[in-house]
A and B are shown apart, each in its own frame.
Chain A
Amino acid sequence: MEYLIEQALNGFSIGAQYSLLALGLAIVFSVMGLVNFAHGEFIGVAGYAMFAMAAMGMTNPWLLVLFAVVTVVLAALVIERIAFRSVRDAPPTTGLLTAFGVGIVLQNLFLLLVSPRPKAVPALSALNQTVDVWGHNFTILQFLEVGVTAVAIGALVWFLRGTRIGLAMRAAALDFTTVRLMGMRANRVIAFAFAISGLLASIAAIFFIARRGAIDPFMGLLPVLKAFVACVLGGFGSLPGAVIGGLLLGFIEVMLIVLLPDKLAGLRDASVFLIVGAILVFRPQGILGKRVELGDKTA
């Protein structure tokens, strides 16, 4: 029983990271139809930003976190401006290839400017200390992951409902042309989408780095894949779907860690994708996605 409760929180805290990443993917996708596979590299940007600052002697973990978040949001805005804006009206595959290109460029920047080998970023490792709550062993990090993610999602909901640019983003998910007819600047709406996706990714990145205590140039690959799977699982383009898909993925992963003997640990990720595949056989549109039949009008 004890073990079960601890693993449940574990599922929540890992799922929270996937939810944050998946939300960022879904927001950009819903506004401009782009699957931004460079999204995972935001984790790398956060990691290397912290690494660089720490190397220059900054020790305050709060300042490091703040610096990482700001850097990622700025990076998201810059990438949108120089890479994605010019292919905005191009066919979807062009956007996808651009995203892969951006990802490869960033990975190689990390590789060339720092090192191809993993680097330690121990500044946040203190968060892995266990605390005893009613006889259960938890880490501070797990509470932070769940709590901060909940606050971030709450803030996002407020933003999407309470601000004009938030309304425009929701409207643009269905019909960007008419949003422009209202006099809303397309560039602004899309820049906000990228900034938000970067912000959410930077939060996930902080947790990710705190857990691992190390960074490497390709650290974003698997997380972005998982975030993509979370989106598909929840229903692609749906924001609540991204959250639910992320949490579900976290739970499936933790469940497999519990159930699979250590000998088979290497099959964990494969098993996760197998289970996700099985779910999609029964719900191909995802959990919250709308079913679109071939030949249905979507516009």
Chain B
Amino acid sequence: MLEIEGASINYGPVSAVRNVSLTVEKGEIVALLGPNGAGKTSLLSAAMGLRPLAAGSIRFKGEDLRKLDTETRVRRGLTLTPEGRKVFANLTVLENLELGAATRKKGAEIHHDMEMCFELFPILAERRHQTGGSLSGGEQQMLAIARSLMSRPSLLMLDEPSLGLAPRIVQQIFRLIRDLRGRDLTILLVEQNAHEVLRFADRAYVLSTGECRYAGPASRLHDKDALMQAYIGELVA
């Protein structure tokens, strides 16, 4: 579904990502792991068209994305729940969801999808008239995911959804991500919480200082030593 080949990303003279290839097949949950500053966020930004590729290519459902702007990529079914949630703090929960559906015609279907989001996250239904900024961290993360779902994506990319959340909330978010797979969604999940994610991901990539250190089944990293080695050494399967 998503094919990134030989991607390099620069910030001015600084190279953030070098020659990284990554694919996500329909129906998969793929984990993208790696320490801080590895280039994970940069890679997702490039996939959304927020950063240009210095080299390499990105295809989505067979189509070359490089010529398409961010808006068009969202229309094609690609969506990103950004790092740090980025809910619109001055907008209500309902307004946040409405903007999530920005690429769709207003109407009954959007209303139906909002109700679906409220079923997934009952707490958001309670808070629908509150502003995004007044929600707790966990609620904001739920809102950010719900907002992404409002565009009816086929591939959902999540950038560190567990960041800064209490363990109980993290469990809830991860359970939800597993549920979403059952709803015909494909998921690319960026996480620092490697152990948790590897338990339910199908495949994993490990990025470190802009380079790919591991690409293969998630199960092979269940072993602590193997994971350690992927983080610090070379282990490309």
Chain A residues engaging chain B, CB cutoff 8 angstroms: 164, 167-168, 170-171, 173-175, 177-185
Contacts and interface: CB of A to CB of B under 8 A. Distances in A.
A110 to B, nearest CB: 37
Interface of B: 48, 50, 69-71, 74-75, 79-80, 82, 86, 88-91, 95, 98-100, 102-103, 106, 147, 151
Given A164-B99, A164-B102, A168-B99, A181 B48 contact: yes
Contacts of A167: 91, 95, 98-99
B88 A174 contact: yes
A108 B80 CA distance: 48
Question: Which secondary structure dominates where chain A touches chain B?
Answer: helix
B102 A184 contact: yes
A235 to B, nearest CB: 14
Contacts of A164: 98-99, 102, 106
A169 to B, nearest CB: 11
B102 A168 contact: yes
A183 B103 contact: yes
15 contacts: A164-B102, A168-B102, A171-B99, A174-B90, A175-B86, A177-B82, A177-B86, A178-B88, A180-B70, A181-B48, A181-B70, A181-B79, A181-B80, A183-B103, A184-B102
A286 B171 CA distance: 44
A181 B74 contact: yes
B13 to A, nearest CB: 18
A206 B100 CA distance: 39
A168 to B, nearest CB: 6
B92 to A, nearest CB: 10
Contacts of B86: 175, 177-178, 181
A178 B82 contact: yes
Contacts of B48: 181
The 9 lowest CB-CB distance pairs between A and B, nearest first, are A183-B74, A183-B103, A171-B88, A178-B86, A182-B102, A184-B102, A183-B102, A183-B71, A182-B99
B50 A170 contact: no
A164 B71 CA distance: 15
Contacts of B80: 181
B115 to A, nearest CB: 19
B88 A175 contact: yes
B99 A179 contact: yes
